[in-house]
A and B are shown apart, each in its own frame.
Chain A
Amino acid sequence: MSNQPTRTIALEANEQGFATTRLDALLGWARKYSLFQYPFVTACCGMEFMSVASPRFDLARFGAEAPRFSPRQADLLWVVGTISQRQAPVLRRIYEQMMDPKWVMAFGTCASCGGFYDNYTTVPGIDKIIPCDIYIPGCPPRPEAALDGLLLLQDKIARGDRTPGIVKPREDPMTHLRQHPRGLPLLGGIPNSIPPSGGPSAGSKSDKEHT
Chain B
Amino acid sequence: MTVRVLDKLKERFGSAILETHSNFGDDTALVAPASWKEICTFLRKDPQMDFDLIIDLCGVDYPHRAETNERIEIVLHLCSLPKRARLRLKTRVGDEELNGAEVDSVTHIWPGANWFERETFDMMGVKFRGHPDLRRILMYPEFEGHPLLKDYPAARTQPLVQYRNEEEAGLPLEKIAPFREDEGMSFGRNVWNSADENN
* B123-163 to A contact mask, C-beta < 8 Å, 1/0: 00000000000000001100000010000101011111101
Q: How far is the CB of B193 from chain A (nearest CB, A)?
A: 12
How many residues of chain B are within 8 Å of chain A by beta carbon? 23
| B140 and A86 contacting across the interface, CB-CB below 8 Å | yes
Interface stretch of the complex, out of B52-60, B75-83, B85-93, B175-183: B175-183
At the interface, yes or no: B173 with Cβ under 8 Å from chain A?
A: yes
> Is B169 in contact with A89, judged by CB distance below 8 angstroms?
no
B36, chain A: closest CB distance, angstroms:
29
Question: Nearest chain B CB to A67's CB is how many angstroms away?
Answer: 25
**Is B195 an interface position by the 8 A CB rule?**
no
Q: In the complex, which residues of chain B have a beta carbon less than 8 angstroms from the beta carbon of A86?
A: 139-140, 160
- Find chain B residues with CB under 8 A from A164 CB: 170
Q: Is the CB of A85 within 8 A of B160?
A: yes
Q: Show the binding face of B for A, using Cβ within 8 Å.
A: 139-140, 147, 152, 154, 156-161, 163-164, 169-171, 173, 175, 177-179, 188-189
CB atoms of A124 and B147 under 8 A apart: no
> A120 and B157 in contact (CB under 8 A), knowing A127-B169, A127-B171, A128-B169?
yes
Q: Which 4 A-B pairs give the minimum distances between C-beta atoms?
A: A88-B161, A128-B163, A120-B147, A124-B175
In the bound complex, residues from chain A placing their C-beta under 8 Å from that of B160 are 85-86, 88-89
A123 on the B face (CB < 8 A): yes
Q: Which residues of B contact A128 (CB under 8 A)?
A: 159, 163-164, 169, 173
16 intermolecular pairs with C-beta atoms under 8 Å apart: A88-B160, A89-B160, A89-B161, A114-B178, A116-B179, A118-B175, A118-B177, A118-B188, A120-B156, A120-B157, A121-B147, A124-B157, A127-B171, A128-B164, A128-B169, A130-B164
For A123-151 the 0/1 string (1 means CB < 8 A from B) is 11001111100000000000000000000
Tell whether, in the assembled complex, residue B189 and residue A129 are in contact, meaning their CB atoms are under 8 Å apart.
no
Q: Of B154, B164, B178, B189, which is in contact with the most chain A CB atoms at under 10 Å from its CB?
A: B178
Cα(A129)–Cα(B160), bound, Å: 10
Judge if A20 is at the interface, Cβ distance under 8 Å. Answer: no
CB neighbours of B164 from chain A (8 A)? 127-131
Which residues in A have their C-beta under 8 angstroms from that of B161? Answer: 88-89, 92, 129
Distance of A114 Cα from B170 Cα, bound (Å): 18
Q: Which of A9-27 contact B (CB under 8 A)?
A: none
Determine which of B154, B159, B173 lies in contact with A119 in the assembled complex, contact meaning CB atoms within 8 Å. Answer: B154
